Amino acid sequence: MLSIIGIQSGALMSEFMKGSTGRFMGAQAKARGLSGDVKNRELKALLCGLDPKSGNALVTNAGNRHKAGWDCTFTAPMSVSVAWGVADPKARIKIETAHTAGVRAGIALLERYAFFTNHGQGRNKDLKNAEGGVVAVAFRHSTNRVGESSLHDHVLVANFSVDGRVLHFDTRNVSKANAAYAAEILAVQ
């Protein structure tokens, strides 16, 4: 199941994720040479609209006041989470692999259809899909807030496009991303 909330503060979100290991994902991340594990300072820079390597602005309104982006949380169904929590190592890896594939499929769909940029003003606005994709960071968690088994990934999508514009999100495509995620989870044998 996919839930999405806006992230207002990059500094606060990077503190929230401190202690977790994130990994880069998204077409724009790959194009920028961002891969592997993410350091906290890199996450904070990205969510503030800054290049994590150089510190240069990636969007016109970069800085602490920049709307950081979105937390797209992909949560396995409770039955899958419970099975994953009690599974032997081999079965656990199969479930994690399917979950990871589902998260990738969901983000790829959102990259293609849900994130867009404004071009023009007023009535002359031209909305375009975020060409070049997004920069995202995925954090895997194994329990919910009350300590129950809950396999889920927080995928933090940074709020900038390759051309330096802020992103907008079309919620009409959430159900499609949910279906893409679920298809991968259901494929576990």
The amino acid present at 75, given as its one-letter code, is T
Query: pTM score > 0.85 for this model?
Result: yes
The DSSP-derived string for 80-108 is HHHHHHH--HHHHHHHHHHHHHHHHHHHH
**pLDDT above 70: residue 10:** no
pLDDT at 144 (0 to 100): 83
CA atoms of 22 and 39, how far apart (whole Å): 8
pLDDT at 12 (0 to 100): 66
**pLDDT above 90: residue 152:** yes
pLDDT at 20 (0 to 100): 76
CA atoms of 24 and 156, how far apart (whole Å): 10
pLDDT at 11 (0 to 100): 62
**pLDDT above 80: residue 177:** yes
Q: Which of 12-16, 142-146, 154-158 has the lowest mean pLDDT?
A: 12-16
pLDDT at 143 (0 to 100): 83
pLDDT at 88 (0 to 100): 96
Task: Please give the C-alpha separations between residue 22 and each of 94, 170, 173, in angstroms, as whole numbers.
Answer: 20, 25, 25
> Mean pLDDT across the stretch 51-64?
91
